[in-house]
Structure 1
Amino acid sequence: MPLFLGVLRSETAASPERMARALAGLRAYQAAPREKRAAPKPAVYQSGRVALRDYGGEGRPVVFVPSLINPPDILDHSPGSSLVQWTAAQGFHAWLVDWGSPGSEDRDLDLAAHVERLLVPLLQALPEPPVLVGYCLGGTLALGAAAVTPAAGVATIAAPWHFDGYGEGRPALAATWATVKSAAALLGLLPMEVLQAGFWQLDPARTIAKYETFADMPLDSDAARAFVRLEDWANSGAPLPYAAAASLFEACIADDLPGKGGWLIGGTPVDPLALPCPAVEFVSLSDRIVPAATAIGFADRRDLGAGHVGMIVGRSARPRLWEPLANWIAALD
């Protein structure tokens, strides 16, 4: 809350009316009724705190790799907007990686270790090499996994690779990390709220405007329920181990090691353009969280006119993303 209020003050300092509306929207969001969430799918395979959840279906295994930031259920958001459930009904066996909740004992697990020690053992437990579908930072991790273990294909969705593409956003993210680094080192963890505040700085106007808009929504409307469900997802999530946070802010955002060819998994440099399997990337042209300038550079690139989250769960997600993705996977045969 203090972090949000700081953004609110800076964005509405010249407009008390806007501040009042945004606060009214925030109060309405806090008081809104919540829908009961479905129980998680069975965790068939485990690798430390990380689980591979089985969504059923027949055919080629497709493993969805979510970001470490925010819960994985954005890929299984609701019965009508679940990319994973829909994929399982298209002739594939769908799986979802659940990164679990790290503790201070995980402080030394950087991004490469998440791939090598947690993700790769799960993939190797499957009866055949899967297609990897990575969303956001999960796409970056999926590329790392495909460089060191067999995969039938890799599809990334809004995945950053050339982190220098953050451009003018890099100083704000660097400042966030500089402010919290010492405390994170003491805890061994970086709380999700700090990450959220850092990414708010990439588009603070939108952060406030959406609460202004929510102030006028009837709480029993479909739009209000969708807003609450999405904001609950965006405002929740496990912390990052200290080493993972350091490699994200320093090795990736500050130094762009992946984009420069310097990111190693088990001593192997990760070069997405040299992967021994087919690959495709879906890129949002209006994404503020993962700008299009951070894209990988695959020959097969699909540009979408939807935002970072809207491309996954928005009203046009199925024709714009879900169906092209399923068609690409089916064509691998």
Structure 2
Amino acid sequence: MLQRETAACDARRRAALAGLAAYQAAPRVARAPAGREIARCGRVSVRDHGGAAASGRPVLLVPSLINAPFILDLSPGRSLVAWLAARGLRAMLVDWGTPDPAERDEDISAHVADRLVPLIDAVTQDAGAEPLLVGYCLGGTMAIAAAALRPVAALALIAAPWHYSGFGEPARAQIGRLWAQTQPVCDALGLVPMEVLQACFWQLDPARTIAKYERFATLDPDDAAAHDFVVLEDWANGGAPLTYGAGAQMFEQFFAADTPGRGAWQVAGTPVDPHAIDIPTIEFVARNDRIVPAASALGRGEVRPLDAGHVGMVVGQRARDQLWAPLADWLSGIALAR
């Protein structure tokens, strides 16, 4: 990919490689889990970030299965979950944990029925009230399915794909080719390594992938911008693998067949029909999203388009004004009304 994108300019190739080397050599600070664990279902847990200062209905944030959950708790000043907690909301974050090859057959549907739903039950019992679900990326898709299986107070979606045909035929075909190449190895492992998923994301916007390392090569490693880049890239390049079943369902049923968008997805025998879920719903859609195109959004309830990208809408410089504050206001209004 690097060779293809910089074929006309050796200087760009050298700059991108220098940026990559600088990123690899950058110092890191070990992360410690924040919040208090209040529920667990096998490897999957929920941590309460609101603590004693929060009251009222719990707000359960559901991150994507892909990448680590700490994109919603990235760093001081760039943490959606911490900011919601500071606003007095009892914010909780799901951590999907690290799967074992023995769990190879646990697909996305099973993650919803056998992991997320029991955690919703536990949170409901602990708080004495049904939670408000906030789902990001694939976590939003899964939150929709969970809301079809269990009563929840409200549903907020952030860059959540539903109509996978909205990714466009060229992107879907490219993703399909990548899966065809890697499926035998993933099948043998019982897992879909993060490297496979990250390669898929790179192919969605290869020019941007190269350009960001070119830019990083020009930064002073002691600057805040360089530190922020490293933290964000570590999130993007890290994370636990998917179970083989989750990867196969995502690539074969979601991307290739658009099972959710066609109304053909069932979880634990229950059809997942978002339009039959009669609860307050809001959807934040990023117009400049190259990972989850705006055209793939559900398009139900109150839809708020943002001039942002897939990650920038959550942790970018304008995230607080564009997403955090409107989301907190909406959640607070629902929590007080119900």
TM class, shorter-chain normalised? Answer: over 0.9
* 3-state SS in 2 of match to 1:102: coil
Q: TM-score, structure 2 length as denominator?
A: 0.95
Give how far 1:42 is off: 2.5
Is the 1:173–1:199 Cα contact (8 Å) retained in structure 2?
A: no
Mark the runs of 5 or more structure 2 residues left unpaired by the alignment. Answer: none
Q: Given the alignment of the two structures, is residue 46 of structure 1 paired with residue 48 of structure 2, yes or no? A: no
**Equivalent position amino acid for 1:185 in 2:** D
Q: Given the alignment of the two structures, is residue 140 of structure 1 paired with residue 137 of structure 2, yes or no? A: no
Output the CA distance in 2 between the equivalents of 1:184 and 1:43: 31
Output the CA distance in 1 between the equivalents of 2:8 and 2:250: 35
Provide, for residues 158-207 of structure 1, a one-character-per-residue CA deviation record: whole Å limited to 9, x for no partner: 00000001102111100110001111111110101110001110000000
Aligned match of 1:166? 167
Aligned match of 1:193? 195
**Equivalent position amino acid for 1:14 in 2:** A
Output the CA distance in 2 between the equivalents of 1:159 and 1:10: 31
Output the CA distance in 1 between the equivalents of 2:130 and 2:222: 45
Q: Given the alignment of the two structures, is residue 93 of structure 1 paired with residue 90 of structure 2, yes or no? A: yes
Provide, for residues 50-77 of structure 1, a one-character-per-residue CA deviation record: whole Å limited to 9, x for no partner: 0011112222100000001110000000
Mark the runs of 5 or more structure 1 residues left unpaired by the alignment. Answer: 1-6
Q: Given the alignment of the two structures, is residue 83 of structure 1 paired with residue 80 of structure 2, yes or no? A: yes
Is the 1:283–1:303 Cα contact (8 Å) retained in structure 2?
A: yes
Give how far 1:274 is off: 1.6
Instruction: Point out 4+ residue stretches in structure 1 off by more than 6 angstroms.
Output: none
Is the 2:158–2:285 Cα contact (8 Å) retained in structure 1?
A: yes
**Equivalent position amino acid for 1:132 in 2:** L
Aligned match of 2:61? 64
Output the CA distance in 1 between the equivalents of 2:246 and 2:148: 19
**Equivalent position amino acid for 2:106 in 1:** L
The share of aligned pairs that are identical, in percent, is: 57
**Equivalent position amino acid for 1:250 in 2:** E
Provide, for residues 277-311 of structure 1, a one-character-per-residue CA deviation record: whole Å limited to 9, x for no partner: 11111000000000000000113100000111110
Equivalent of 2:114 in 104, 117, 122: 117
Give how far 1:276 is off: 2.2
**Equivalent position amino acid for 1:28 in 2:** A
Provide, for residues 122-169 of structure 1, a one-character-per-residue CA deviation record: whole Å limited to 9, x for no partner: 000123210000000000000000000010000010000000011021
Give how far 1:46 is off: 0.5
Output the CA distance in 2 between the equivalents of 1:79 and 1:25: 25
Is the 2:280–2:301 Cα contact (8 Å) retained in structure 1?
A: no
Give how far 1:17 is off: 1.1
* 3-state SS in 1 of match to 2:298: coil
Q: TM-score, structure 1 length as denominator?
A: 0.96
Output the CA distance in 2 between the equivalents of 1:112 and 1:292: 23
Output the CA distance in 2 between the equivalents of 1:320 and 1:264: 34
* 3-state SS in 2 of match to 1:302: strand
Aligned match of 1:300? 302
Aligned match of 1:284? 286
Aligned match of 1:261? 263
* 3-state SS in 2 of match to 1:125: helix
* 3-state SS in 2 of match to 1:26: helix
Give how far 1:329 is off: 1.0
Give how far 1:37 is off: 2.4
**Equivalent position amino acid for 2:275 in 1:** L
**Equivalent position amino acid for 1:53 in 2:** R
Q: Residues 299, 276 of structure 1: CA spacing in aligned structure 2 closer, same or farther, 3 A cutoff?
A: closer
Give how far 1:223 is off: 0.5
Aligned match of 1:247? 249
Aligned match of 1:224? 226
* 3-state SS in 2 of match to 1:217: coil
* 3-state SS in 1 of match to 2:279: coil
| 1:30-45 matches, cutoff 5 A | 30-45=24-39
Give how far 1:38 is off: 3.6
* 3-state SS in 1 of match to 2:59: strand
